[in-house]
Amino acid sequence: MKIVQTGEPVLREHTRPLSKTQIQSREIQTLIESMREAMYEAPGVGLAAPQVGVGIQLAVIEDKPDYTRDVEPEYLAERERKPVPFHVIINPQLSMQGPANVEFFEGCLSLPGFTACVARARKVKVDCLDHHGEAKVIEASGWYARILQHEIDHLTGTLYIDRMYTRSFMNVDNFTRFWKNKSRAEIKALVKRKP
């Protein structure tokens, strides 16, 4: 399954909701499995349907333990990053549980090779349907809350570059060289610095 790149019109469109019958269809269940495989192959922690060219309100999410196995515990603690099991969100309604004031770097599978600092809410609540079409409520904080906000943005035609601090935009190589292990305070100083 091909992940579409920035510039594709579907990434800038509002998506349509799905009914329970549609969710349970073979077509949507096959799409979910294909998206899961594409997310693993990339690799990534989330993938929204518009990123595979389908304009529906559906995203898959998983933050595998393998992704952070070699990461310093202090780094994970500061970012509040813990493994998140695979799940699907459909027709999500996002409620911020506080201001968008936690700044960290994000990337996107539809804009590979780059990253930028984005302010997100630390806690969120998401009312949605699961892959069976059953209602569920997700309350998330830290990195998981960031993933949810990023993926739900995709369902409204919004990319992280629309929310980024422009002074923080860089390629992944430079991020790894200069910023990967910086503290939140150091990152905040970067994004607040005047030109």
Helices (H), the chain: 20-23, 26-41, 73-79, 142-154, 172-174, 184-192
DSSP string for residues in 7-63: T-GGGGSPPBP--HHHHTSHHHHHHHHHHHHHHHHTT-SEEEGGGGT--BSEEEEEE
Determine the distance from the C-alpha atom of residue 35 to the mean position of all C-alpha atoms in its chain, rounded to a whole number: 14
CA distance 36 to 122: 26
Residue of 62, 134, 151, 186 marked active site: 151
- CA proximity to 148, closest of 168, 110, 122: 122
Q: Is 72 a catalytic residue?
A: no
CA distance 36 to 19: 21
Catalytically active residues are: 151
